Structure 1
Amino acid sequence: MIIHLRTTTTRLAPRHLCHTAHQNAMRYALPHRTANHTFHKHHFTTFTGPSASKDIPEDIATFFTFWPSYFSNHEQRILLSSALHRLDSMDSNRPSVPETDDLQQLFASDDLYDFHEGHYDGVIHHYREMHLTSWPVDQFPGLPPVLERLYALCPSRDVQTHLLHLASHGEILPHVDNISASGSWILGVSLGDERTLRMTRPDDKRQDFELSLPSGSVYLQKDQVRYSYEHSIDPKISGVVGKAQRMSIMVRVSLQSLSLSYACLKRPGSTITTTRQQPMS
């Protein structure tokens, strides 16, 4: 079964973008996968509000879209609670998630989590993570419509979802993701502490920029920006005393889809189309 999607560009702020057909195609555990995969290129209107336009250089705005307040406080609480629920199921300490409207209070103290000191590649410090195979929709009845809004922003339909929980002093050092393992785009949801995303271009420091990521914000990197810039997350925002934990929900093209795309692009008569572009050299 191939589901064909029609995407339109709207002049409304990205928070109000509505891809009805795309939402209907999404399932709440993970987006549905079929034997035949068709990828469709979506066009997004870059947010031009005051919190985004001053930080994103015009020459890369085509490849970097930012929604500074995409999720409401209620939606953030549902997403964070469900993400912590899944991560805590793997944690030997299994701290309980309290019933509170304060988003920061959903996190337990740092010492109650089994945070890893460093990632195998040395990029991430003081964190825990998991590749999500399903969302706990049975435990969180309000989760499905929030997931629909999340996955509606994805440029392609078959995706993999990754949860990354940073400790209060956790950080992500500058790096470029592995090309063969993550595709031409990545979408990131920020929950919890507001951190600074730094984008640095090794071959031209004049193109560097940084962006504050408040809780509830979403960004989409793709194509040239994806692989010509190193990205990093600071342990805290400059000038702010005290630190807090942060949850990231990262969505990428699925590894299965990437493998199928490469195989079928080499095979004459393939029905698979893809918007994947080779990174800039």
Structure 2
Amino acid sequence: MVSEMKILTGMTIHNICWLLLESLPVPSYFTLSEELQQNQTAAEDIINTIKVLNNFLSEAEETCLMNELDPYMNKLRYEFDHWDDAIHGYRETERLQWNEENTKILDRVRKIAFPPDVAPIKFVHILDLDKNGWIKPHIDAVRFCGNTIAGLSLLTDSVMRLVHDKNKNLYADLFLKRRSLYIMKGVARFDYTHEILSNDNSIFKGEKVLKDRRISVICRNEPDPKYKDI
């Protein structure tokens, strides 16, 4: 018992935090800032409220989505000024009607992302990001969507960064692989800004991740009625 006490006394808080973090399963698509590594509660909160499902789409499914989206998206110009200054180099739309094959894909997304008692927004948000574009740090307005955001990543790999809204030293990077699905809710949705890094800053685990044109197909749930008039 005495020897165990000596061992514990000799350990630094940093060492103890690292031992705690090692017992916490950190998915391979995550990297955590040093301060987030040392805060087990915050680390658990972020890991448990955003998931990335790699290879959610097959190559054929990605092609099917693009075949339906491209004819319309290619008519739009890329914009370099966003109405709330959240995106640089983008074009976007909302889509309600889909062909049969893509309807099945979106139904699969909704089934995984939303519980049976949660109403998804019928319109799907399509965000087309230019190769040289990026999404700036932001938290999606609560008056426009609810507590869950689910996004398919098409055409390219990219890096998403989440930064705590009150403590900028708490941040995590996620590797969004091409054809993956991310699902963000709770703490990740409301307490952290999210962004897609520009190619100048797009690094994951020491490796450069060059983003090409990126299309996000995003499903959300209805906002809480108490926020609709904000």
Same fold (TM over 0.5): yes
Give 2:113's aligned residue.
154
Q: Identity across aligned pairs (percent)?
A: 25
Cα distance per residue 1:120-165 (max 9 Å; x no partner): 1111111100011212x1xxx6434323322222313332310000
- Which one scores higher on RCO, CA 8 angstroms, separation ≥ 6? 2
Structure 2 stretches of 5 or more lacking a match?
A: 1-24, 37-42
In the TM superposition, what are the counterparts of 1:1-281 in structure 2 within 5 Å? 51-52=28-29, 57-88=43-74, 91=75, 114-135=77-98, 137=99, 142-155=101-114, 156-159=118-121, 160-236=123-199, 237-238=202-203, 240=208, 243-254=211-222, 258=223, 261-262=225-226
CA distance in 2, matches of 1:167, 1:229: 24
Distance 1:173 1:134, change over 3 A: same
Cα distance per residue 1:191-248 (max 9 Å; x no partner): 0121110000132234210011111111111122211101110123335486520000
Distance 1:153 1:205, change over 3 A: same
CA distance in 2, matches of 1:189, 1:122: 23
Larger fraction in helix: 2
Give the secondary structure class of the aligned counterpart of 2:84: coil
Give the secondary structure class of the aligned counterpart of 1:180: coil
Structure 1 stretches of 5 or more lacking a match?
A: 1-47, 92-112, 264-281
Distance 1:49 1:198, change over 3 A: closer
Residue identity matched to 2:189: R
Larger fraction in strand: 2
CA distance in 2, matches of 1:230, 1:248: 17
Question: Is the Cα–Cα contact under 8 Å of residues 31 and 172 in structure 2 kept in the other structure?
Answer: no
Residue identity matched to 2:194: H
State the TM-score, normalizing by the size of structure 2. 0.71
CA distance in 2, matches of 1:248, 1:235: 15
